[in-house]
Amino acid sequence: MEAAVLTHEHGHAVAHAADHTHEHHEPSFIRKYLFSTDHKTIAKQFLTTSMFFLLVGGAFALFIRWQLAYPGEPIPIIGSWLPDSLVSNGAIQPGFYTQLVTMHATVMIFFVIIPMATGAFANFCIPLMIGTDDMAMPIVNMMSFWLVPVAGLTIMAGFFVEGGTAAAGWTNYPPLSASGMGHTLWVIGVFLVGFSSILGGMNYVTTVLNKRAKGMRMFDMPMTVWALFITAILQTLGTPVLAADAVLLFVDQVFHAGIFIPENLLTPNGGLFPNGANVGTGGGGQPVLWQHLFWFYSHPAVYIMILPIMGVVSDVLATFARKPIYGYKAMVFAIMAIAFLGFVVWGHHMFLSGMSPLLGTTFMLSTIVIAVPSSIKIFNWLGTIWRGDIHFTTPNLNALGFISTFVCGGLSGVFMAIGPIDVYIHDTYFIVAHIHYVLFGGALFGIFAGIYYWFPKMFGKMYNESMGKFHFVTTFITFNLCFFPMHMIGVGGHMRRIHDPYVYEFLKPFQPINQFITIFAILLGFAQLILIFNLIWSVKFGRPAPRNPWRANTLEWAAPAHPGHGNFDRDITVYRGPYEFASPESKRDYLPQWIRPAHVEQETVAKH
Amino acid sequence: MSALSLAHEPVTGIRHGKLGMWIFLASEVMFFSGFFTAFIILRNANLSVFAHGATELNWPLAALNTVNLIVSSLTMAMSILSLENGDKGKFQLYLGITFLCACGFLVIKYIEYTTKFSHGIYPGTSSFFGLYFTMTGFHAIHVIGGMIPIGWMLAKSFTKRGYADTGRVEILGLYWHFVDLVWIFLFPVLYLIF
């Protein structure tokens, strides 16, 4: 039995056997695909939702790029479809531009990267990788998913209300964000998506602590699970602060309480609020308070977006270098250190918001310290692939792409951490380049690596390798050509959010660079269609996947090729760590966690 | 294929729901901390407004509510003990008192709110009242959120099958004590500091 289950060719047959046991209570379509409590279905729901939002957010980005490259010229094809409130003769109006900037970031952060990392991957990987049947609280898990589309629709509804959707940037600083229906919808949407994040987080922490397979100690967990576990702690402790912040902004927007709006704030039309209500009778509000509470969440949120990806990349690199991860415990402690430091550095987003220089220095030092655990991780990834038997599969190419771009983004981050330098580059395209190197180059390449890596287990089919490689190569080249020049125009003084930069004489020479960036941004956008085509095509026509296509050691590969409800067709006991590649105990180059020590020798003989 | 034993006892020995509740409560602490932070910052910026605002509040009614919630916490703990001892009647009695205390709390809250409105005081009156209505409002939502499962368990215990899941009542108790504790912080901060 033990050997038969492990033999790849039999994987599919066993999968059918596993499905057979669950035939008796086939759930209805609604229970199975809409309100499912199965963690794998919820993971797929998260994946498809965030893929959809990835296209939406990407389209917003291309509008922004079009305007910067060819300001005042009509958007090709789509321009004529948009209403006159947004475009004039097909060209983007300033108001619409700020809405696009805001919504691009909001969608990409709250509805693409976070649901992808902590929704899709956490849901799919945690139960399978710790060898259990489902999450600890399946119904809470279902709620956590369904809040995301509701929140997404709430925020998107902003496009159809008077005054348009939120337009104060994704950070939504008051007093600019303290009026208008679009901002209120934004706040409600963020509250809902935050609630989803909290419910998810508490579920993941409970599952990891309580549902590990027999014999699995905390330090037998794969890096992906460790990273998701620590991320879940960040989610449960950070997100509620944003929720409280959102509630207070809501109170300011609806009741004009003056929590964030300063006293007697006047605008050209006489007052901030169209109905003549004025704030200031009850003492002045504190706009910087919003920023403190916002960044208290949103800096840890940066790590919510990147830590799970670091875990995924660790697993992918070790598997395809056929080597144990270098410094496993150091990697775990580095994640913990990053997570802890992530909570005490939020002030570095606010060097220009008015802050005691002493406090600024504290935030500067704590921020620079993060470079230490981050460097440990980079060093250990390089140590992992060093002299390894590297297989250049699509997941591994994406993981290697992650390292190279993340190093670049990490280094530009150190620039910003230094207060005096940040004063110069704050709110320029240098920041835009940095955030895209860590969030697109970092998080999204890691997400691609994870999608390709677990695709066989998720859908029971293999993706198309050539298409996958083509997608990686085109994405990697266009990504760098698109985002690298942004560093240069940023240092040259190009502002971060500006409708028409060429009103300034000194920015006019940057127009050719902006056009260059835009061309590659469009190519980058269209390159993602390859990914989507590959996934859809492979789900339908892909080659059936074997049980353990990557010859990996972690528990998800002990499950049938396309696991049904309940995941495993055998009892799972863990006998060793997750990275026993090239182990002297076994004649093969890998030794899965679930193989009984007594079977190791027999296993190897049977194989050769 | 024989049945699998993947769904074994919790590794920590603590029931999933209970562990999840503790983590959820940690999250709740951070949520209310956000409000308290805002309160501290705004109070320091507008001392006179906050001192004046606090004098407008009805502290004796709030003190009554404090007693109310503490009693409900006590009876909640006693209902758990009664259920553990298998004393169904006492379980219903104590859980019933808990439910009534919660109702009483909301009635007093309603009186407080409507008195404020009749005096022309709304959340938009000042930053103090903005925070007052937000903090007590969210606390009241938590009270209602606790009353729903209390009412459900109480109703279930009167059915033929009864209610015997001590673990669940205990998880509810954790939540209820937390809601009580939030009020213990809200009461002096909002009502007693002038």
Q: The domain spanning residue B150 has which CATH number?
A: 1.20.120.80
How many domains does chain A divide into?
1
Q: Give me the residue from A202, A206, A243 closest to B31, CB to CB.
A: A243
Give the percent of chain A with pLDDT over 70.
Answer: 91
- Rounded to 5°, angle at Cα A20 from A14 and A22: 120
> What is the chain B residue with the closest CA to A286?
B42
Torsion angle in degrees (nearest 10) through CA of A74, A77, A79, A81: 150
Question: In whole numbers, what is the pLDDT of chain A averaged over residues?
Answer: 89
Residue A426, min C-alpha distance to chain B (Å):
26
A274: in domain: no
Q: Given an 8 Å threshold on Cβ–Cβ distance, is A136 in contact with B19? A: yes
Q: What is the mean pLDDT of residues A362-384?
A: 95
Q: Domain containing A363 — which CATH number? A: 1.20.210.10
Contact list, A248 vs chain B (CB under 8 Å) = 34-35, 38, 130-131, 134
| Inside any domain, residue A343 | yes
Chain B nearest-CA distance from A400, in A, is 35
pLDDT > 90 fraction of chain A, expressed in percent and rounded = 77
Q: Indicate whether B9 belongs to any domain.
A: no
With a cut of 90, say whether residue A3 has pLDDT above it. Answer: no
Residue B118 lies in a domain: yes
Is the four-CA dihedral A295, A345, A374, B29 of positive or negative sign? negative
* Mean pLDDT computed over every residue of chain B: 93
Asked if B6's CB is within 8 angstroms of A567's CB, the reply is yes
- Which structural domain, as residue segments, surrounds residue A110? 2-21+35-263+283-607
What is the 3-state secondary structure of A494-556? CECCCCCHHHCHHHHHHHHHHHHHHHHHHHHHHHHHHHHHHHHHHHHHCCECCCCCCCCCCHH
Q: What is the 3-state secondary structure (H, E, C) of A198-267?
A: HHHHHHHHHHHHHCCCECCCHHHCCHHHHHHHHHHHHHHHHHHHHHHHHHHHHHHHHHCCCCCCCCCCCC
Average pLDDT value for residue range B14-35: 96
List the one residue out of A131, A93, A85, A126 whose CA is nearest residue A208. Answer: A126
In a domain, A268, yes or no: no
Number of CB pairs, chain A paired with chain B, less than 8 A apart: 162
User: Is A277 inside a domain boundary?
Assistant: no
Residue B4's pLDDT band, with cuts at 50, 70 and 90, is low
Residue A363 scores a pLDDT above 60: yes
- Residue A478 included in any domain: yes
Shortest CA gap B2–chain A (Å): 9
CA of A199 to nearest chain B CA: how many angstroms apart?
8
Chain A residues inside the 8 Å CB shell of B7: 132-133
pLDDT in tens, A27-84: 677 777 788 899 999 999 999 999 999 999 999 999 999 999 999 899 988 888 888 8
Best residue in B6, B15, B36, B48 for a mutation probing chain A (most A CBs within 10 Å): B6
Q: Is the pLDDT of residue B121 over 80?
A: yes
Look at A293 and B37 and tell me if their CB atoms are within 8 Å.
Answer: yes
Of A205, A212, A241, the CB nearest to B30: A241
What is the mean pLDDT of the segment spanning A107-119?
Answer: 96
Q: How confident is the model at residue A275, as a pLDDT?
A: 44
* ipTM of the complex, rounded to two decimals: 0.95
Res B155 pLDDT > 50: yes
Token pair of A97 as six digits: 């531009």
- What confidence score (pLDDT) does residue B187 get? 96
Q: Which domain holds residue B135?
A: 16-192
- Residues B81-94: what's their mean pLDDT? 94
Would you give the DSSP letter of residue A167? -
pLDDT of residue B2: 45
What is the rounded average pLDDT of the residues B92-96?
Answer: 97
Identify whether B90 is part of a domain: yes
At A12, the pLDDT band (50, 70, 90 cuts) reads very low
For A470-485, give one letter per residue: b (16+ CB within 10 A) or e: bbbebbbebbbbbbbb
Q: Is the pLDDT of residue A578 over 60?
A: yes
Residue A354: the pLDDT is 83
A135 inside domain: yes
Is-contact A247 B134, C-beta < 8 A? yes
Min Cα–Cα distance to chain A from B96, Å: 28
Quote the DSSP letter at residue A300: H
- Inside any domain, residue B11: no
Give the pLDDT score at A11.
40
Q: How confident is the model at residue A381 (pLDDT cuts 50, 70, 90)?
A: very high
- The dihedral through the CA atoms of A371, A374, A378, A380 has a sign that is positive
Q: Which of A17, A202, A282 has its CB closest to that of B49?
A: A282
Q: pLDDT tens digits, residue range A556-572? A: 999 999 998 889 998 89
Q: Is the pLDDT of residue B79 over 90?
A: yes
CA distance A167 to A496: 14
For the residues A321-339, what does the mean pLDDT come to? 96
pLDDT tens per residue, range A537-554? 999 999 999 999 999 999
Which of A198, A210, A244 lies at the smallest CB-CB distance from B16? Answer: A210
Residues in A closer than 8 angstroms to B171, CB to CB, are none
What total of structural domains would you count in chain B?
A: 1
Instruction: Give A70's contacts (C-beta < 8 A, 6+ positions apart).
Output: A515, A518
| pTM flag (> 0.95) | no
Contacts of A214 in chain B (CB under 8 A): 8
The CA-based diameter of chain B, rounded to the nearest angstrom, is: 74
Average pLDDT of span A197-222: 96
Average pLDDT over residues A451-478: 96
Q: Tell me the residue type at A502.
A: Y
